[in-house]
Structure 1
Amino acid sequence: MPETNQDPLSQVINAVQGIYGRKDQAHDLEHALRVRAWGKQIGIQEGADLLIVELAAILHDIGRSGTLSKTHAESGAALAGGILHKCGYPEDTIEAVKAAVLSHSREGYEPETLEARILYDADKLDFVGPMGIARLFVWLGKEGKPFFGPDSCESFYRERIRHYHEHIHTQTARALFEPLFLYSENFWSELEKMRLKKG
């Protein structure tokens, strides 16, 4: 097993810093560490293997900007396996983490283990509430998307994020999701009022 420092997973965090440094700011290391914190909170309540949850959270988005022939989850699972091998984790831990990373987004793989379901839920929690709104504008703004209209920040929220609650797996995450979702709903409602306000 890796050395124990102040943070027992610091070896893995150090290994991915350079990778995340090349990602967009909505999917950077800070996002991964927030997902780790959400995942740990959910995992404690749900009785999960916290090591698997935390490792998967730290590694879940390292496959973004990977090969065009793979989804970012597929690329991330492969990269995660290599990193964990180098860090000395046992094969069963590596396979469990890879399975969670592979199924953390809606790209054709369903999360089958408790830890994978928790990673999925934790990732969605970081896309609602004030942080989720900030991430949405940073991510889509970098791609030149407008605030409103077709193919915009608003349409992404209304067509995708607004429906995340329908796919949340754990009871703990559903309870955490609700107030953040209400914050997001209110934000978009108020923004729409301001946009339509006439002088």
Structure 2
Amino acid sequence: MLEMNQDPLNPVINAVQGIYGRKDQAHDLEHALRVREWGKKIGIQESADLVIVELAAILHDIGRSGTLSRTHAESGSALAGGILQKCGYPENIIEAVKTAVLSHSREGYEPETLEAKILYDADKLDFVGPIGIARLFAWAGKEGKPFFGPDSCESFYRERISHYHKHLYTETARVLFEPLFLYSENFWSELEKMRLKKD
């Protein structure tokens, strides 16, 4: 019997700690656990299978240091299958989680199941608002990108993140996204004003 407050997914979290320890701070275990929480919020409202959503969220970025011949989603999907097998999950859960992980970043794979769509949406929610801004700068620092100009934090935000709301799959995620997006928009607007300020 589980003790009070013991997380039933702890075996999976423990299995991926070492993998996430090698990732950049924008794609670490903390990110995966936040995506899990977003996924739960969306999944409850959308009547999804929360076990699949939560497992997929915990595992979704484990393939980021995979082979060059695969996308990180492809590598992650394969790794997720092995981890879940070792943790004793049934084949139907394993396949559903692998499917969600495979399509969470749209690197050639469109999310088709409800749980895959929720994982996609939950992942995007963690790239807006205060946490999203912190993640963007952490990632850009690792990649050596400047704040402004071509191939910068700002250009990545303007070209990618600011359009995420157009591609969200669930109504729940669209509602959750809006205030976080406004926060991000205000941040970039204020930062631009500060940048252009003259003495």
Matching of residue 24 in structure 1 with residue 24 in structure 2: yes
CA distance in 1, matches of 2:80, 2:144: 30
Match of 2:70 in 1: 70
Identity value in percent: 87
- Alignment-mate amino acid for residue 130 of structure 1: P
Equivalent residue runs for 1:50-89 within 5 Å: 50-89=50-89
Q: How many corresponding residue pairs?
A: 197
Match of 1:120 in 2: 120
Q: 1:142: how far off?
A: 1.1
What secondary structure does 1:41 align onto? helix
- Cα deviation digits, residues 79-98 of structure 1 (max 9, x gap): 00000000000000000000
CA distance in 1, matches of 2:106, 2:194: 33
What secondary structure does 1:63 align onto? coil
- Cα deviation digits, residues 50-74 of structure 1 (max 9, x gap): 0000000000000001100000000
CA distance in 1, matches of 2:174, 2:42: 10
- Alignment-mate amino acid for residue 169 of structure 2: H
CA distance in 1, matches of 2:106, 2:155: 18
- Alignment-mate amino acid for residue 7 of structure 1: D
Match of 2:15 in 1: 15
Equivalent residue runs for 1:182-197 within 5 Å: 182-197=182-197
TM-score scaled to structure 2, two decimals? 0.98
Match of 2:130 in 1: 130
> Which ranges in structure 1 are unaligned for 5 or more consecutive residues?
none
- Alignment-mate amino acid for residue 183 of structure 1: Y
Q: Do the aligned partners of residues 4 and 93 (structure 1) sit closer, same or farther apart at CA in structure 2, a change above 3 Å counting?
A: farther
What secondary structure does 1:81 align onto? helix
Q: 1:106: how far off?
A: 2.2
- RMSD of aligned C-alpha atoms? 0.8
CA distance in 2, matches of 1:191, 1:107: 31
What secondary structure does 2:35 align onto? helix
> Which ranges in structure 2 are unaligned for 5 or more consecutive residues?
none
TM-score scaled to structure 1, two decimals? 0.98
CA distance in 2, matches of 1:168, 1:183: 18
Q: Moved runs in structure 1, 4+ residues, more than 3 A?
A: none
- Cα deviation digits, residues 20-45 of structure 1 (max 9, x gap): 00000100000000000000000000
Match of 2:172 in 1: 172
